[in-house]
Amino acid sequence: MIRTELNLRLPNSPGALAGVCRLLSDERVNIVALALETGGQLRIVVDNHVHAAGVLREHHHQVTERDVILISVPNIPGALAPALRLVSDAGVNIEYAYAGATDTASIAAVIVGVEDAQRAAAAAGV
């Protein structure tokens, strides 16, 4: 499925990520997935991106938005490969991806950043 990813840069300081998470929690925004890169680039997918982006902007974060695809797959070896093969066969380049699941979770969530989210989602069947 297509989701909206929020992107913002955090300072390299203790508590920066915790502050964003607390802010979103206080606003009852659920974080579906996040990735924080070494340079402070935070990519985050939430259950209500419109509200989350507004709250973050009110707190002086510069937020950009991007369509990404969210692929839910069984949390077993090899489950992601068929969906990624479909994206590849459609000629869509994957620019980045991040995922998460616990050892006991039956489903893993994978966020995939691509140039054309509509085409990638259609190709992957999500």
Residue 116's pLDDT band (cuts 50, 70, 90): confident
Of 66, 85, 102, which residue sits at a domain end? 66
Cα separations in angstroms, 2 against 25, 38, 49, 110, 116:
23, 26, 12, 12, 11
37 plus 74 within the same structural domain: no
Residue 123 pLDDT exceeds 90: no
33 plus 89 within the same structural domain: no
Of 49, 66, 83, which residue sits at a domain end? 66
Task: Give the pLDDT of residue 75.
Answer: 92
77 plus 55 within the same structural domain: no
Query: For residues 37 and 93, what is the distance between their CA atoms, to the nearest angstrom?
Result: 20
pLDDT tens sequence across 37-70 = 999 999 999 999 999 999 999 999 999 999 999 9
124: phi then psi, degrees, rounded to nearest 5: -80, -10
Query: For residues 40 and 90, what is the distance between their CA atoms, to the nearest angstrom?
Result: 32
Residue 126's pLDDT band (cuts 50, 70, 90): low
State which residues form the domain around 44.
2-66
Total number of domains in the chain: 2
Within the chain, what is the greatest distance between any pair of CA atoms?
Answer: 43
